[in-house]
Amino acid sequence: MSMANLQRMAQQMQQQMLRIQEELAAATVEGSAGGGAVSAVVTGKQELISVTIDPSAVDPADVEMLQDLVVAAVNDALRASRELAESRLAGLTGGLRLPGM
């Protein structure tokens, strides 16, 4: 394979990576906890966009439970975001897992 071909392939991969990153930034996934009492929405780049709390989940006598539900919902959304990123990048990387992704 010639150097020109390698450079062309690297340039194509870079363009594909930029396109995938743009798609991930625009994509959203949702996670939830407590049977949907708390939900969180994150982008495909793992940025938290919103947290929604059903009023029935708010018990002033049990703030710890609400805090736990928020953490669980955010973690569920982040897991879904990582899975989305891995699936989008799998074609580009040939299934190799990249550090930080």
Residues 15, 16, 19, 20, CA torsion sign: negative
Q: What CATH number does the domain located at 3-93 have?
A: 3.30.1310.10
Residue 96 has pLDDT above 90, yes or no: no
Tell me if 40 sits within 8 A of 30, measured CB to CB.
yes
pLDDT single digits (tens) 20-37: 999 999 999 999 999 999
How confident is the model at residue 98, as a pLDDT?
53
How many Å apart are CA 49 and CA 95, to the nearest integer?
Answer: 28
According to DSSP, residue 56 is labeled G
pLDDT of 91 reads 74
**0.85 exceeded by the pTM?**
no
Residue 33 CB burial class (10 angstroms; 0-12, 13-18, ≥19): buried
100 pLDDT band, cuts 50/70/90, is low
pLDDT tens by residue, 40-90: 999 999 999 999 999 999 999 999 999 999 999 999 999 999 999 999 888
